[in-house]
């Protein structure tokens, strides 16, 4: 079987992907910095995700920005799955240099090696994000299909959280966002993911190296970090509930996301590795079903059987989008991928796993205070 390098392979998606690929007979190499924000302090000793893969893969602890380490990691591998990235919409708006260095520069280093050094790589996959779409695709009675710009404090400060489009007097209707939709990210994170995707697809096409960009939606499931207060709404809410703390639901609670279970994400990624139909293509990876955030909070409280207050606060973060639904037609038609796990099934599996974990410290308020001081949280 093929030899595969997974950058960021000790992370949530990467570790699950590695284990499934090992079961299928692939030889896996991982390069990962074991970021403390994701893996915790003394991560090489304590990280649960790292422990699941450490004795089953060739592991290199290093940043993808380190060219010598990345050259070593690529070695004789034939496929690269590039997952290494800083994640978190809100945090990206106040840690711009860090996000750009890892996401954009790290990808540039990888591509520079593939262009200028001898290698055996036959295919490159890059993890993109639904964040590249910004506010996404809507229908206007006056103008037809429109792509609203970033929401501003002018309206959100008054409690009006819906997206706007110049000249539209009637409310906009949300549409599933397909891969041909306008790309206009509303956060630094989204901008860096778009740069990653565009660099990979452009350079690989030029050097005739098959490439695939996977625009993951909101990935969740057992194993995701319970200590990162900047990303993963299910984990953030779970940590708050387990600590008996109140849940602050931003905006009016009606904002929605396309939650896709980790097993489905892994399956879609493996299909993209193995199928020639995926070559040079960009795919959404989600479910096409929106779930609003208030529903998420109430469902978690019920499943944990813990009574904690839920406040619909009207707070908001600049850079957050309002809604998100993926159009899944392309990946269904080209690869035959269908998400198998419903949100109801997936969230039960997630909470069952959380119930078997040690209760983590709730650092969410610290992350909010950081954004407040930068003027990014209202």
Look at residue 363 and tell me whether its pLDDT is greater than 80.
Answer: no
Which of the pair, 359 or 182, is modelled with greater confidence? Answer: 182
pTM, rounded to two decimals: 0.94
- Please report which confidence band the pLDDT of residue 19 belongs to, taking 50, 70 and 90 as the band edges: very high
Give the pLDDT confidence score for residue 361 in this predicted structure: 76
Give the pLDDT confidence score for residue 45 in this predicted structure: 60
Among 353, 319, 378, CA closest to 131: 319
Give the pLDDT confidence score for residue 87 in this predicted structure: 86
Q: Please name the helix (run of DSSP H) or strand (run of DSSP E) that holds residue 236, with its range, or none.
A: helix 233-242
Tokens (6 digits) for 86: 């800083």
Q: Is the dihedral of CA 87, 93, 97, 100 positive or negative?
A: positive
Pairing of strands 144-146, 138-140: antiparallel
Among 24, 32, 26, CA closest to 6: 32
Please give the full DSSP string across 143-174, using - where no structure is assigned: TEEE------HHHHTTT--S---TT--SPPEE
Terminal-to-terminal C-alpha distance of the chain: 52
How far CA 90 is from CA of 73, 189, 282, in Å, comes to 31, 8, 25
| Contact between 253 and 323 (Cβ < 8 Å) | no
Q: Is 147 a catalytic residue?
A: no
If you average pLDDT over every residue of the chain, what do you get? 92
Look at residue 270 and tell me whether its pLDDT is greater than 80.
Answer: yes
Look at residue 46 and tell me whether its pLDDT is greater than 70.
Answer: no
CA 319 from chain center: how many Å? 15
Look at residue 44 and tell me whether its pLDDT is greater than 80.
Answer: no
How far CA 181 is from CA of 54, 133, 176, 199, in Å, comes to 40, 7, 10, 18
| Contact between 94 and 318 (Cβ < 8 Å) | no
Averaged pLDDT, 158-166: 93
Averaged pLDDT, 11-32: 97
To the nearest whole percent, how much of the chain has pLDDT over 70? 97
Give the pLDDT confidence score for residue 370 in this predicted structure: 72
Q: Which of 116-130, 144-158, 187-201, 338-352 has the lowest mean pLDDT?
A: 144-158
Backbone dihedral region for residue 181 (phi beyond 0: left; psi -120 to 50: alpha; all else: beta):
beta
Averaged pLDDT, 75-85: 96
Which of the pair, 232 or 134, is modelled with greater confidence? Answer: 134
Q: Please name the helix (run of DSSP H) or strand (run of DSSP E) that holds residue 344, with its range, or none.
A: helix 343-354
Give the pLDDT confidence score for residue 89 in this predicted structure: 81
Measured CA to CA, the distance from residue 111 to residue 13 in angstroms comes to: 22
Measured CA to CA, the distance from residue 88 to residue 260 in angstroms comes to: 17
Give the pLDDT confidence score for residue 310 in this predicted structure: 92
Q: Please name the helix (run of DSSP H) or strand (run of DSSP E) that holds residue 303, with its range, or none.
A: helix 293-304
Spell out the CATH class of 85-373: alpha beta
Other Cβ atoms within 10 Å of 317 Cβ, number: 18
| Contact between 10 and 39 (Cβ < 8 Å) | yes
Look at residue 63 and tell me whether its pLDDT is greater than 70.
Answer: yes
Out of 50, 133, 138, 189, the active site residue is: 189
């Amino acid at each position: 079987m093929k030899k595969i390098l997974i950058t960021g392979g000790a992370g949530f998606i990467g570790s699950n992907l590695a284990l499934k690929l090992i079961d299928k007979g692939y030889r896996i190499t991982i390069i990962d910095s074991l970021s403390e924000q994701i893996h915790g302090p003394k991560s090489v000793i304590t990280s649960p995700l790292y422990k699941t893969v450490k004795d089953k893969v060739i592991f290199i602890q290093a940043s993808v920005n380190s060219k010598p380490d990345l050259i070593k990691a690529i070695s004789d591998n034939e496929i690269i799955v590039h997952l290494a990235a800083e994640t978190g919409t809100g945090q990206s708006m106040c840690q711009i240099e860090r996000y750009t260095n890892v996401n954009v520069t790290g990808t540039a280093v990888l591509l520079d090696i593939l262009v200028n050094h001898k290698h055996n790589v036959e295919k490159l996959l890059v993890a993109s994000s639904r964040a590249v779409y910004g506010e996404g695709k809507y229908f206007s009675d006056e103008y037809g299909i429109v792509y609203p710009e970033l929401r501003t404090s002018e309206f959100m400060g008054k409690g009006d959280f819906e997206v706007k489009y110049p000249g539209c007097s009637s409310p906009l209707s949300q549409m599933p966002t397909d891969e041909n939709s306008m790309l206009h990210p509303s956060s630094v994170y989204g901008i860096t993911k778009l740069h990653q995707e565009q660099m990979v697809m452009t350079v690989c096409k030029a050097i005739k190296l098959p490439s695939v960009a996977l625009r993951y939606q909101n990935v969740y499931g057992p194993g995701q970090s319970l200590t990162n207060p900047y990303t993963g709404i299910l984990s953030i809410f779970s940590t708050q509930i387990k600590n008996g703390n109140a849940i602050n639901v931003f905006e009016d609670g009606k904002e929605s996301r396309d939650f896709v279970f980790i097993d489905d994400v892994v399956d879609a990624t493996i299909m993209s590795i193995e199928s020639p139909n995926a070559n040079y293509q960009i795919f959404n990876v989600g479910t096409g079903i929106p779930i609003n955030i208030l529903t998420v909070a109430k469902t978690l409280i019920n499943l944990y059987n813990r009574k904690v207050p839920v406040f619909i606060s009207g707070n908001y973060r600049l850079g957050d989008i309002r809604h998100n639904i993926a159009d899944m037609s392309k990946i269904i038609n080209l690869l035959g991928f269908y998400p198998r796990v419903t949100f109801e099934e997936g969230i039960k599996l997630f909470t069952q796993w959380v119930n078997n974990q040690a209760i983590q410290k709730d650092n969410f308020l610290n992350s909010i205070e950081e954004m407040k001081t930068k003027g990014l949280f209202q």
